[in-house]
Amino acid sequence: MTDRRPTLYLSRLLPDPVMAVVRERFQLVQEPLDALPTPLALREGLCQADAAIVTLGDLIDAETIHAATRLKILANYAVGYNNIDLAAVRARGLIVTNTPDVLTDATADLTWALILATARRIVEGDALVRSGQWTGWSPTQLMGAEVSGKTLGIIGMGRIGQAVAQRAVGFRMPVRYHTRQPNAATSFPCEWAYRSLKDLLGESDMVTIHVPLTPNTHHLIGARELAWMKPTAFLINTARGPIVDEGAVVNSLKIGIIAGAGLDVYEQEPAIHSALAELKQVVLLPHLGSATLHARVQMGLVCLKNVQAVLDGHPAPNHVQ
Ligand code: DGY
Q: CB burial class (10 A; 0-12, 13-18, 19+) of residue 183? A: exposed
305 in the same domain as 228? no
Mean pLDDT of successive 10-residue stretches along the chain, which has 321 residues? 93 98 98 96 98 98 97 98 97 97 98 98 98 98 98 97 98 96 81 96 98 97 98 98 98 98 98 97 98 98 98 98 81
Number of domain units in the chain:
2
The whole-number pLDDT of residue 180 equals 86
268 in the same domain as 203? yes
124 in the same domain as 98? no
Residue 320 in domain: no
Q: How many whole angstroms separate alpha carbon 90 and alpha carbon 195?
A: 35
CATH of the domain at 245: 3.40.50.720
- Catalytic residue chosen out of the listed positions 195, 240, 273, 296: 240
Look up the pTM and report it: 0.97
Task: Ligand 1: list residues with CB < 6 Å.
Answer: 56, 78-80, 103, 289-290
20 in the same domain as 115? no
205 in the same domain as 125? yes
Identify whether 195 is a catalytic site residue: no
The one-letter amino acid at 311: L
156 in the same domain as 46? no
Q: How many whole angstroms separate alpha carbon 265 and alpha carbon 248?
A: 15
Torsion sign over Cα 73, 61, 92, 28: negative
262 in the same domain as 113? yes
Residue with CA at minimum distance from ligand 1 atom 7: 290
Identify whether 219 is a catalytic site residue: no
The whole-number pLDDT of residue 321 equals 81
Q: How many whole angstroms separate alpha carbon 150 and alpha carbon 142?
A: 19
Residue with CA at minimum distance from ligand 1 atom 6: 78
169 in the same domain as 49? no
Contact criterion met (CB below 8 Å) for 107 and 293: no
Identify whether 273 is a catalytic site residue: no
Residue span of the structural domain in which 88 resides: 7-102+293-311
Torsion sign over Cα 241, 245, 246, 250: negative
The whole-number pLDDT of residue 250 equals 98
Bond prior to 100 in cis (omega within 30° of 0): no
Residue with CA at minimum distance from ligand 1 atom 4: 78
